[in-house]
Amino acid sequence: MALNFTEDLDAFFDTPGFTVPVVQGSTTSVGYFESPNEIIADGVVLTTDYAVVVKTSDFSTVSRGDAMTVEGVAYTVREQMLLDDGKIMRVMLMKD
């Protein structure tokens, strides 16, 4: 017996207060912004890895070097990684 399940990604990304506006080229949508700090080099350097989790269908053409604006701040795409079944992805960013 097959179990059919249709996920509604719009419900996942429709969470005001948690999602932020994301713009890349002519595409405007929302995503979950991440900016964790990490101490590296034996505790000498504090670094921040910027990323945004978005629907792959909204940003399927994003690639390394593209400009992306997250919550009004300009970033450059470092890398994109599909998550789980590939319907969402994490876009790794560097601050301009």
Tell me the per-residue pLDDT of 24-70, one tens digit each, with 9 for 90 and over: 999 999 999 998 777 878 877 777 889 999 999 999 999 999 999 99
Q: Given this model, what pLDDT does residue 13 score? A: 87
Residue 19, pLDDT above cutoff 70: yes
**Rounded to whole angstroms, how far apart are CA atoms 54 and 38?**
23
Q: Given this model, what pLDDT does residue 66 score? A: 97
Residue 3, pLDDT above cutoff 80: no
Q: Which two tokens stand for residue 49?
A: 């890895």
Tell me the per-residue pLDDT of 4-14, one tens digit each, with 9 for 90 and over: 667 788 888 88
Q: Given this model, what pLDDT does residue 67 score? A: 97
pLDDT: which is higher, 1 or 60: 60
Among 53, 50, 63, 51, which Cα is nearest to 13's? 53
Among 83, 94, 86, 70, which Cα is nearest to 21's? 70
- 55-85 CB burial, b ≥16 within 10 A, e <16: bbebbeebeeebebebeeeebebeebeeeee
